Amino acid sequence: MNELKEKCGIVGIYGKNLPVSKLAFFALFALQHQVYKEKDIENLKGHISIGHNRYSTSGGGALDHAQPVINMDNSFALAHNGNLPSVASLLKFLSSKKALRKNRMDSELIADVIDFYIKKGNSLEKSVKKTFPLITGAFSLVMMNKDTLIAVRDAYGMRPLALGKIGKGYVIASETCALHTIGATFSKEIQPGEMIVINESGIKSVQLAKPNPNHDVFEYVYFARPDSVLNDKLIYEVRKNFGKTLAHEFKLEVDAIVPVPDTATPVALGYSEVSGIPIEMALVKNRYVHRTFIEPDQKSRRHSVALKLIPLPQVLKGKKIAVIDDSIVRGNTCKRLVETFFKSGAKEVHLLISSPPIRFPDFYGMDTPNQNELIASHKNTEEIRKFLGATSLHYLSLDGLIKSIGLPKKHLSTSCFTGIYPIDLKERKDEVNYDVPKE
Ligand code: 5GP
Ligand code: MG
């Protein structure tokens, strides 16, 4: 599996007399969906809908594995946010039942097992219950058949999932920001290991496994939208805290702070509030260009960084600046930015990063392609600084990150920074190299 997945979004809507497909469309829009047009969904009628979004992957062909996954007789659909490092149990089960199809990816394998149980005469609820123990990994799922909407979150709560109310109906969404967009009110976060079943008889909750919360810190660092709330923490506030903590950890003598929009903007506000150093929005985002992370190859990625973020030389000339960004993955974005700032006349370019060095690959969400491509897996901070050409480089400490989020350390998954993987990687364990720089 050598592809790079980015943040996915999922939604599920249930309500008689509600325009459920239209609501799902707008909710996906909040989760940054880009494929459907409003008229595409106008003819979709019914009282239950689910939807899913995903950015293209490095292999291109984004539609090959488009979701929701729909079974062969169109009676059941599933949307999955997250990633399963190991699918061994699902594969073993399906092949023992002679129900294994070729080239099925993780989400499709889950759907195939559920479908197997449905075909045996089980209800959707019962089929999901029976399938749950076979799924190893990070998953928030929404599923539907003609009368029931079901949502399930893995026992670790790795990916978020929230429940909301709209009129007499219900909404499930991977981020709370999608609820507000469609006028729904937040009811609660679906708990790790919890299943929610909504149908004619109402709504019920079934705990399928003991909760063992290990929420992915990357939701706070980069994935989630600033207007989403996760574990009672507003993402905007958490990111502001990152900036405040950075200001306590690293005092810089600079003329201005320049955030890399959009994620780092609240971080810069926090840094400025504590340090008293003013912010300059000297990097302007071209709103017509999509994110760079999804570009399949290095060259086009580099090109789109230049298109996407435009510096203001009039503001930068002769200044010592501290540039704030959320994370360094491969290092391309930052290298390009440092060059741009110096070219625009900046005298010193210090870098502040609101997360620790990413030394280990991700298996639960974005599925980074290869540990070698992570710059911090083989360069220490000083070597990275040199590579980027920055005056200085400072990463937020792991303790600072956790303190800023405000949840207990044991409830957070920090695998990309620490190499500690709360969900067993099983057959993929060997992909992790622990011989990484210490500093
Ligand atoms: P790179 O270092 O790979 O050139 O780019 C890192 C930048 O890409 C980060 O600043 C971040 O804002 C952005 N980015 C886009 N998608 C992702 C993602 O899925 N994870 C992380 N950590 N950063 C991402
Ligand atoms: Mg960025």
CATH of the domain at 252: 3.40.50.2020
The pLDDT assigned to 3 comes to 34
271 with 196, same domain? no
Q: Is 96 within a domain?
A: yes
**Same domain assignment for residues 79 and 198:** yes
Q: Tell whether 388 is covered by a domain.
A: yes
Please give the backbone phi and psi of residue 27, each rounded to the nearest 5 degrees, phi first. -65, -40
pTM for this prediction? 0.92
Distance, in Å, from the CA atom of 315 to the CA atom of 114, rounded to the nearest integer, reads 58
181 and 287 both lie in a single domain = no
Fill in the amino acid letter for 151.
A
Domain count, the chain: 2
Tens digits of pLDDT across the chain (439 residues): 233 344 578 999 999 999 999 999 999 888 876 667 777 778 888 999 999 986 544 333 445 678 899 988 888 999 999 989 899 999 999 999 999 999 999 999 999 999 999 999 999 999 999 999 999 999 999 999 999 999 999 999 999 999 999 999 999 999 999 999 999 999 999 999 999 999 999 999 999 999 999 999 999 999 999 999 999 999 999 999 999 999 999 999 999 999 999 999 999 999 999 999 999 999 998 876 655 454 555 555 555 555 688 999 999 999 999 999 999 999 999 999 999 999 999 999 999 999 999 999 999 876 566 899 999 999 999 999 999 999 999 999 999 999 999 999 999 999 999 999 999 998 899 999 999 999 8
Q: What does the pLDDT read at residue 39? A: 78
Same domain, 128 and 47: yes
* Distance in Å, CA 416 to ligand 2 centroid: 17
* Cα gap 204→375, rounded to integer Å: 46
CATH number of 48's domain: 3.60.20.10
The C-alpha torsion from 211 through 212 and 213 to 217, rounded to 10°, is -150
> Can you tell me which residue has the tokens 């969904």?
41
Gap between the Cα atoms of 199 and 186, Å rounded: 19
412 lies in some domain: no
Q: Is 38 found in the same domain as 177?
A: yes
Instruction: Give me ligand 1 centre to Cα 87, in Å.
Output: 27
- Which residues have C-beta atoms less than 6 Å from ligand 1? 6, 222, 263, 291, 293, 325-334, 366
* 140: β partners: 81, 153
Distance 222 CA to ligand 1 centre (A): 8
Is residue 424 situated within a structural domain? no
Residue showing tokens 């008689």? 16
In a domain, 228, yes or no: no
Q: Which amino acid is it at 102? A: K
- In a 10 Å sphere around its CB, with 0-12 CB exposed, 13-18 middle and 19+ buried, how is residue 186 labelled? middle
Q: Judge whether 416 counts as a catalytic residue.
A: no
Question: Do 149 and 22 fall within a single domain?
Answer: yes
Q: How many CA atoms lie within 13 A of 242 on its CB side?
A: 34
Q: Are residues 243 and 189 in the same domain?
A: no
Same domain, 285 and 189: no
Render 206-218 in DSSP notation, one character per residue.
Answer: EE-S-----EETH
| Pair (270, 368) in one structural domain | yes
Structure tokens at 287: 């709103």
To test the pocket of ligand 1, the residue of 8, 57, 290, 293 to mutate (highest count of ligand atoms within 8 Å of its CB) is: 293
Examine residue 437 and state whether it is found in any structural domain, yes or no: no
Which of 190, 101, 114, 198 minimizes the C-alpha distance to 153? 190
Kindly state the tokens that stand for 203: 């709504």
Question: Buried b vs exposed e over 68-95: b needs ≥16 C-beta within 10 Å?
Answer: bbebeeeebbbbbbbbbbbbebbbebbe
Same domain, 276 and 157: no
**Same domain (yes/no): 68, 202:** yes
**Dist. CA 324–CA 334, nearest whole Å:** 10
pLDDT at 38: 76
Q: Which of 294, 33, 48, 63 is nearest to 174 (CA)?
A: 33
User: How far is CA 233 from each of CA 162, 219, 237, rounded to the nearest angstrom?
Assistant: 13, 11, 7
**Boundaries of domain holding 200:** 9-213
Do 254 and 206 lie in one domain? The reply is no
- Work out the number of other CB atoms within 10 angstroms of the CB of residue 376: 24
pLDDT at residue 297, as a whole number = 56
The answer to whether residue 419 sits within a structural domain is no
- Dihedral, 372, 374, 379, 380 alpha carbons, nearest 10: -140
438 assigned to some structural domain = no
Question: Which of 262, 329, 388, 396 maximizes ligand 1 atoms within 8 Å of its Cβ, making it the mutation to test the pocket?
Answer: 329
